[in-house]
Structure 1
Amino acid sequence: MSTPLPPIVIMGVSAVGKTTVGLEIARQSGGSFIDADDLHGAANVAKMSAGIPLDDDDRWPWLDRVGAALLPGTVVACSALRRVYRDALRRRAPDAFFVHLDADATILLERAADREGHFMPPALLASQFDTLEPLQGDESGIVVDVDALAPSAIAERALDGVRGTG
């Protein structure tokens, strides 16, 4: 029996493809997928829907719920934009591996504008870029530039990173 992969967090700003890539990683690895957006409380969703960025007081209970979901073999799409947020997730799942999806801001603005039915308006994308703190050398993870890759190729690259072969 093979050892399950550690929990994998697909991180990055809105519209970068966290859900699409996370679903593909879960498919390729045989793991389960959770979208952290589904773990937000109603007040957070209402705030973001109104174009108001969340503050840390809004995020801590949400991050605790996300951290509790980080079980071996689980892939979670979660923005995890700041180091302190990733540290909060690691307190619940010390072996979590972070896959930072990176893309050009112009492309992401176009993607966000084309999305229908998502509570995160394109206007908040700039605040996410302002908040983003890239992975640091002591964090377990990989950065994948998604601009020119298909989701299956991004997932393969991410899984190579998780397995230490990429």
Structure 2
Amino acid sequence: MSLSKFIQMSHGINPTFLNEVNVASMNEQQRAISSEVVQQNRCFDNCFQLAMHLDVTYVLGVYHHLIPIEHAWLKVGDVYIDPTLETVTGEVKGTYLSLVEVRASELIDFVVEVQDITNANAAYPPMFEHIKHHPEFRGRFISNRERSAFFDPKIVNI
């Protein structure tokens, strides 16, 4: 099975909206700031805080090294960096597929808008579960019916 089909099936994303991007190592200043903020397994929170602090773009997408996972990283100018992975492991390797990019200047309004749309009790950094309800990004996700078409009906109905 191709990576695109696997992501479509496992994450419910229309793969035509994924854009592969190259992620570079952070510079010394970014590394120093990230080392003060980054917590392991908290990529969404880490990148939300750093996007606001550094006035850069929050990127939500899929990271693939061993298996594809939902992940957040940053875009500084035209350069993508992954503060969480680089701070925790010391390196960035793998495939990065961007789905949504939100500039820091729009991030708070976007989070509040998604909170209002989903009637959530709290505001969260952008994640698939929340943004799939946003009218601008709804079309980037496939329905559960479309996802179930990948499975053999005999297996699903067990």
TM-score scaled by length of structure 1: 0.30
Q: Which of structures 1 and 2 has the larger relative contact order (alpha carbons within 8 angstroms, sep 6+)?
A: 1
TM-score scaled by length of structure 2: 0.31
Q: Which has the higher strand share?
A: 2
Query: Rg larger in 1 or in 2?
Result: 2
